Structure 1
Amino acid sequence: MRLAPLALVLLTVGASAQPATLAGRVLGSDGAPLPGAAVVVEGTARGAAAGADGRFEIAGLDAGPAEVVATLLGYAPARQRVTLLAGETAEVEVVLLETTLDAGEVVVTARETLTGRGTLDVPGSGHYVGPRVIERVGGGDIHRVLREVPGVTIQEEDGYGLRPNVGLRGSGAERSSAITLMEDGVLIAPAPYAAPAAYYFPSVGRMDGVEVRTGAGQIKYGPATTGGALNLLAARIPEGAEARGEVVLGPNDQRTLHARAGASTPSAGWLGGLGVGAVLEVRSDDVDGFKTITGPSGSALLAPNGDPYETGFDKLDVFGRVRLATRPEAAVFQSLTLTAGQTDEVSDETYLGLAAADFEATPYARYAGSRYDRMDADHEALRARHVAVFSDRLDLTTTLYRNAFARNWYKLDKVSAGGGSVGVASILDDPETYAGELVAVRGEGAGSLYVKANNRSYLSRGVQTVAGLRLGTPARGALVEAGLRVHADEMDRFQWVDEYAAAAGQTVIVAEGTPGTDSNRIESAEAVAGFVQADIQLGALAVTPGARFESVRLRREDFGTADPERTGADLSVRENTVSALIPGLGAVLDVGRGWRLFGGLHRGFAPPDSRPETDPESSVNAEAGVRFGGEAVEVQAALYHTAYRNLLGSDLAAAGGGGTTDQFNGGRVDATGAEVGVSADLARLGGAADVAVPVRVAYTYTDGRFQNAFESDFDAWGTVAVGDELPYQARHRLYVRAGVERGGWAVALLANAVSDMRAVAGQGAIPESERIPAHAVLDVVAEAPLPGGLALTGRVVNLTDETYVVARRPAGLRPGLPRTATIGLRVRIGR
């Protein structure tokens, strides 16, 4: 039913022209370069920030007439017409005149982004992945997009990127709970304070950009400031009219339908001269899955309708926003942007992996005991953002937001083979001791299967406001920002367990659980946070001092499993209140010829849980690095050291734990690392103008070790000795993307290599039962122009069909995606 309306939208999308490149400089009236000026091609999502010498470059544009728009705070916007030729680079020079009027939408963009779509002058490490890279290399998988960024820790889980586990600079990756996750600069995790380890991550396939900020400059975001912040940039309202669409087909009935349309005008007569714009986007991702649920004979297990059980997912995203704005020359520029999004997901996923011997024999099989495992989830997001630009020196941005998330992951939890029940993680960790239970899980013998309905609902809402004050001049002045956030969130766990009897490959439900009889509690948090930060420009030196304050009250109301009606007869309550001052200082020095040195020092913080004995995460973080921005080469390299005074770990079922979500004090940990990111066009370096040879290299070195000994109930830590390495931290990660582009044709090879990882803290040689072996995976992506302006796309993931382990948690070994080839058709219209 979903395919028909999407197909109709796609059929309305027209043609695009051949790719071209726009380059040039942005100068002031005195001929001096204007670094940081934003340059966009009107009617597209293509843009760039001018470097220290005023130069910019925008690749991947449609050939034909175009209008270039350059903006910079304190200057009047400038427009210039240019003709773009296929496979060629057009050079322009744009001059901006100083003015007391402000381009208000520049402020809007700045408030929604972490890097301003440029990273040269960011106080600390910062990376931006643009729409072209997301479109070509991502394929809807956030893990593949984030490989472009050094310093990111990734643990795959399902092969499709549906369950992201992302960490930054040695932080834990479990459910992306140790980072600050945002969409358009707004907290997007279902309960970022009370329960950050949730099961929602925005769909990267509908994003225009991905930003990662680490170092001292990211403390203004929070609440987690140790590793850093990850921000996803949703669809922008275009200037003029624009539409695009894509269809992708692949094996296992894989199909993606994606459509976006938007338009805007700076002055609508029917609105009294107000500017108005809107964008609407729909994306559907469906696949039957690459794993096979097998029965006692080893063949595919059939559902009652005679079809094999599916192991894939069905996901629908609907997103839209509307903006009203005064004209830019108004005495006070104002805009109001309303954003709404909804995600509906049904995925036949499980926590159940494979025992080592079974993985060796049939890595893409799934045990019969997981046949009923399914996640049903819905997410709704609402945002209202008001921007007021009182002058070229003062602006105020206020955002109201509300996120609601409900999900029920119905999945096998425990098994009994005549004795007591045993958790699935324990069975697969020790298949010899629990041989009877493993036989029942395989569907080869009798036993009781306990399938838990992990039913939870989340609610997050708040208001945040940021004021910006500009002092002095761009060369010698400061942007002072002050922000305040009032936030509340909660997680309501209302779970139950159903019992099935398994025998002779068949299962029959014997006892339906009563909702609320397994887990019946509410976790909630109320937080007030504020920050003050100044970007001070002193000629070639930029200094960014700042401080953040967090005050959080966390509360758990446990009604007990014997009181599903929640009468309060068995109610227990616990609370934990914490506050923290989080200072930071960053600096960037322009040493000339495109080179910059940067460094910083800041405090790391993350809120604890509601147990009074749990302390907040605390750390001291230092970094030093160098950047280079040239016409054909960009480099960023950094060294960092994170000294945890108290590392937090969570008891998550996703991490192989009991699923209580209680947090554990891990004490002192030192994490040291190096990050190198290089982007270059080898053809331009060699003087070629009619072809592009883009190359991207991202390397990450991480060494994280405990500095104190302790006993932990957290399975991934266990008995810890001084010097033990952190689990799920690969020492080395290397990613290389190299391609050739000419006249609309493009092909690229993507290589990703990861060294051995530990599943449990330890040191020395990794025991085989705790090792996630090193692996290297090759992908190929290609694009070819077709008559009428269409583009044919192709992708082969895991070109060599490497069989590799991505994790030993939540329960048992889990494989990466096998070789998968897809083909697609992409279309676009717009000025």
Structure 2
Amino acid sequence: MRDTPRLLALSLAIACALPATALRAADDDQAMRQKASDLQAITVQGNVLGASRTEDVRTYAGSRQVIARKDLDTGAYRSLDDALQHVPGVKIFDETGTGVLPQIMLRGLYESRSGRVQVLEDGIPLSLAPYGQTSLSLFPVTMNQIDRIDIVRGGAAVQYGPNNVGGVINLVSKPIPETWTTVLGEKVTAGGKGKFLKDSSVSTGGYLTPDFGVQMDADWLKGQYWRDHSDTDVKNVRLRTEWWLADDKVLKAEIGRYVANMDLAGALSVADYRDNPRDATRPLDEFTGRTTRSAVTYQQDLGAWALFDSSQFDWTTFGAESTRNFVVGMRRASTQTWSPDLPPQLRQSAPRGFSVYGTEPRLSLRIDGAVSQQWTLGVRAEREDIDFLVGNTGLDNGVYTLARNWKFRDRAFAAYVSDAIGFMDDRLTVTPGVRFEHLDSDYHDLATGRTTQNNIRNSLPGLTVGFKVSPRWYVYADAQRSLRAPQVTQIVFGDNLDSELAWNYEAGMRFFPAEGTSLNVDAYRIDFDKQIALDNTTRTYGNLGKTRHQGVEAQFEWSPVKALKFDLGYAYLDAKQESGQYAGQRVPYTSRNQYNVGASYDLGETTLAVNGYYFSKAFTDAANTPVENAIASIGPLPSYAVWNAQVSHVFLREKTSTLKGTLAVNNLADHRYYFRGIDTSPWGREPAPGRTFTAGVELAF
């Protein structure tokens, strides 16, 4: 990917070199534009998320929120995971402020590198391996690619699995424009003390003919974030196409390449944190990642068929070839392995390779009438091959020792069926469904010859009920079974482990008293059984047994006039361990109270926005130890509040061209707060980002 700058330059040349006459012809062809618009509006009927637009939320039978593109543009968000901080029930452990290695907790469910969150891009899983390695150690998505974020906390488990105990986050790509459009973007974030991070982006594409569209998105993140030892070089390029084979069928394809190289500042001892949170005492820690992802989707409207009044078919096939490696400084003595302020004696590397392929056909069938039915039937077959190496190199003698040489082979099959039964002109919808998961996992230690097989078979029923009381009121309830399969590292130390299983219960309502005003409230309970957790101090896996997560989430939006908008969010979370030595104690890392507040004002071509979030204190161990220990591996995490602001201004609007600029300040008060337990730095305090200033400019033509 050293040629990425050349790719950026080439894309600009392509955009500028397209024959002007061809573009004018496209502009003049009103019929072509209308056709493309109409066809792109078609969505698969069996997709419970619809098009993931704001209007899809109004009558969705589950708690759900969509972050629209305008909010992403004007909300002082540095990255996609930064935007999620402002959603009730979502907590982010932000170690860099770059969004490259997201740490997402949803409804109190957390594991390193977002391991207990199902994140999708256009409905396709983004995790390294959706069954065997659910973490987001590679996150090949950047802001310039995404149009909106759909956060679905309930009601989607039957169709979107596995690893959906807390819900599903779907990142929706920008649509391919009807006429050729190029967008150039440049952002510079100043973190202080000479630290600057540049984000250069380009998107170019459109419909070349009435039936064929193409889009290329590229992004290059280069520089340092706000701490020492934070060199960052991340490149991301994606090419998408849409080919309408006929008015009722479309073929979509995409391929992307993502390359990440980062120094990791890591955690600090208590003394070093107090002295200077910008410092870094782990000079060997770094991260590299590579992935090539591709997907092909075929969609067809089948019309009336047999007993059904309408039907649709879609088939998605996806694949990814990925590698990632974390390098950390280590001590030879196991009791000192992870201390953040001792000089390293070993350089440990942990390269992993992933080869993932999946295919998923789905059929949607509808019967109209006094009692309507919407059947959805789908299957998914997936193959995962994972190479897992760990090796140590002595800094004093240069001797390399292979510590682990593991290979995993996962073969998964899933099938699901649901029937949305509509009564009273579809005002009342009852949707029973079931998902079946079949997974065979084989582990082979290439160094010792040891082999282990782990097989799971689970049926996961679900039921959702939604009722449109009036045009202003909608109420819903749902119950569903969810799972996460045993992960590769856990299989090594287990004997045919069971899945982590959960029952999710939810009820809520939406109220729309006036245009631009809405209130969403939900209450939920998650009974999570057979949960596997990592003890940070001993670095061993243990089974917490049962945990219970229950709470209330509310989101209020008010727009007294069109130009002015306020929003207020709140989440209460009571997450407790229900078995084992620490039964009755809080689940680690969970904050009981979360507040989100925001306001924006459009003043002509200028938009002013301010937002903030607050999280109450949390504990980092199962014992809820109230006092931080000497190595800062356990203890409380203090509460924190962060405020952000942004001003956006459109400098030019001329025909199809737009020039706009932004200025944002994150963590306005430069509030000091920290996390711990961040993957390769589990001991010590991991400083959260301090105050940063971001200036950006974007030209569309």
Structure 2 CA distance for partners of 1:703 and 1:115, relative to 1, 3 Å: farther
Aligned to 1:484: 379
Q: Which amino acid aligns with 2:167?
A: G
Q: Which amino acid aligns with 2:323?
A: A
Structure 2 CA distance for partners of 1:780 and 1:490, relative to 1, 3 Å: same
* Cα distance per residue 1:166-189 (max 9 Å; x no partner): 132222242211122221111221
Structure 2 CA distance for partners of 1:283 and 1:110, relative to 1, 3 Å: farther
- Judge conservation of contact 2:626–2:636 (CA < 8 Å) in 1: no
Aligned to 2:297: 385
CA distance in 2 between counterparts of 1:765 and 1:231 reads: 37
Structure 2 CA distance for partners of 1:756 and 1:104, relative to 1, 3 Å: closer
Aligned to 2:201: 258
Where 2:70 maps in the other structure, the secondary structure is helix
Where 1:132 maps in the other structure, the secondary structure is helix
Aligned to 2:275: 361
Residue 591 (structure 1) aligned with residue 469 (structure 2) = yes
Q: Which amino acid aligns with 1:383?
A: A
CA distance in 2 between counterparts of 1:395 and 1:476 reads: 20
Aligned to 1:6: 8
Where 1:210 maps in the other structure, the secondary structure is strand
Aligned to 2:570: 699
Aligned to 1:400: 317
CA distance in 1 between counterparts of 2:209 and 2:436 reads: 39
Deviation of 1:674 (Å)? 0.9
CA distance in 2 between counterparts of 1:773 and 1:66 reads: 60
Say which of 252, 271, 278 aligns to 2:214: 278
Mapping of residues 99-138 of structure 1, within 5 Å: 106-107=42-43, 111=47, 116-117=52-53, 118-137=56-75
Residue 232 (structure 1) aligned with residue 171 (structure 2) = yes
Structure 2 CA distance for partners of 1:415 and 1:400, relative to 1, 3 Å: same
Aligned to 2:20: none
CA distance in 1 between counterparts of 2:374 and 2:435 reads: 17
CA distance in 1 between counterparts of 2:263 and 2:253 reads: 34
Where 2:161 maps in the other structure, the secondary structure is coil
Aligned to 2:495: 612
CA distance in 1 between counterparts of 2:677 and 2:359 reads: 40
- Judge conservation of contact 1:235–1:279 (CA < 8 Å) in 2: no
Say which of 438, 441, 444 aligns to 1:551: 438
Say which of 245, 249, 271 aligns to 1:326: 245
Say which of 422, 432, 447 aligns to 1:537: 422
Q: Which amino acid aligns with 2:393?
A: D
Mapping of residues 74-473 of structure 1, within 5 Å: 106-107=42-43, 111=47, 116-117=52-53, 118-137=56-75, 139-205=77-143, 206-251=145-190, 252-264=195-207, 267=210, 275-292=211-228, 310-328=229-247, 333-350=248-265, 352-367=266-281, 370-391=282-303, 393-412=310-329, 414-416=330-332, 420-425=333-338, 427-428=339-340, 438=341, 440-441=342-343, 449-472=345-368
Deviation of 1:116 (Å)? 3.4
Mapping of residues 533-682 of structure 1, within 5 Å: 533-539=418-424, 540-560=427-447, 570-609=448-487, 610=491, 611-629=494-512, 630-650=514-534, 658=539, 664-682=542-560
- Judge conservation of contact 2:48–2:156 (CA < 8 Å) in 1: no
Aligned to 1:793: 662
Aligned to 2:19: none
- Judge conservation of contact 1:148–1:696 (CA < 8 Å) in 2: no
Structure 2 CA distance for partners of 1:586 and 1:112, relative to 1, 3 Å: closer
Residue 819 (structure 1) aligned with residue 691 (structure 2) = yes
Deviation of 1:323 (Å)? 1.5
Structure 2 CA distance for partners of 1:462 and 1:476, relative to 1, 3 Å: same
Structure 2 CA distance for partners of 1:742 and 1:724, relative to 1, 3 Å: same
CA distance in 2 between counterparts of 1:186 and 1:345 reads: 21
Q: Which moved more, 1:220-229 or 1:237-246?
A: 237-246
Where 2:297 maps in the other structure, the secondary structure is strand
- Judge conservation of contact 1:153–1:173 (CA < 8 Å) in 2: no
CA distance in 2 between counterparts of 1:66 and 1:693 reads: 37
Aligned to 1:740: 601
CA distance in 2 between counterparts of 1:216 and 1:644 reads: 17
Q: Which amino acid aligns with 1:528?
A: F
Aligned to 1:54: none
CA distance in 1 between counterparts of 2:140 and 2:4 reads: 20
Where 1:237 maps in the other structure, the secondary structure is coil
Aligned to 2:408: 523
Mapping of residues 718-797 of structure 1, within 5 Å: 720-763=581-624, 765=626, 770-787=635-652, 789-797=658-666
Structure 2 CA distance for partners of 1:237 and 1:529, relative to 1, 3 Å: same
* Cα distance per residue 1:102-146 (max 9 Å; x no partner): 957513597595663121121211222122222333644233211
CA distance in 2 between counterparts of 1:241 and 1:478 reads: 40
CA distance in 2 between counterparts of 1:482 and 1:635 reads: 33
CA distance in 1 between counterparts of 2:227 and 2:60 reads: 43
Q: Which moved more, 1:550-559 or 1:174-183?
A: 174-183
CA distance in 2 between counterparts of 1:68 and 1:636 reads: 40
Where 2:331 maps in the other structure, the secondary structure is strand
Q: Which amino acid aligns with 1:149?
A: V
CA distance in 2 between counterparts of 1:622 and 1:451 reads: 46
CA distance in 1 between counterparts of 2:420 and 2:140 reads: 30
CA distance in 2 between counterparts of 1:364 and 1:771 reads: 21
Where 1:698 maps in the other structure, the secondary structure is strand
Where 1:403 maps in the other structure, the secondary structure is strand
Q: Which amino acid aligns with 2:326?
A: W
CA distance in 2 between counterparts of 1:132 and 1:112 reads: 24
- Judge conservation of contact 1:148–1:697 (CA < 8 Å) in 2: no
Where 1:360 maps in the other structure, the secondary structure is helix
- Judge conservation of contact 1:195–1:523 (CA < 8 Å) in 2: no
Q: Which amino acid aligns with 2:59?
A: D
Deviation of 1:728 (Å)? 0.7
Where 2:83 maps in the other structure, the secondary structure is helix
Q: Which amino acid aligns with 1:207?
A: I
- Judge conservation of contact 1:6–1:257 (CA < 8 Å) in 2: no
Deviation of 1:767 (Å)? 5.2
CA distance in 1 between counterparts of 2:549 and 2:499 reads: 18
- Judge conservation of contact 2:261–2:288 (CA < 8 Å) in 1: yes
Deviation of 1:786 (Å)? 1.4
- Judge conservation of contact 2:505–2:524 (CA < 8 Å) in 1: yes
Number of residue equivalences = 659
Deviation of 1:70 (Å)? 13
* Cα distance per residue 1:352-383 (max 9 Å; x no partner): 4111121111111111xx22322121111010
- Judge conservation of contact 1:585–1:601 (CA < 8 Å) in 2: yes
Deviation of 1:622 (Å)? 0.8
Structure 2 CA distance for partners of 1:650 and 1:807, relative to 1, 3 Å: closer
Q: Structure 2: state its 5+ residue gaps.
A: 17-22, 305-309
Structure 2 CA distance for partners of 1:68 and 1:138, relative to 1, 3 Å: farther
Aligned-residue sequence identity (percent) comes to 21
Q: Which moved more, 1:610-619 or 1:492-501?
A: 610-619
Where 2:271 maps in the other structure, the secondary structure is helix
CA distance in 1 between counterparts of 2:687 and 2:258 reads: 26
Q: Which amino acid aligns with 1:362?
A: N
Mapping of residues 677-688 of structure 1, within 5 Å: 677-684=555-562
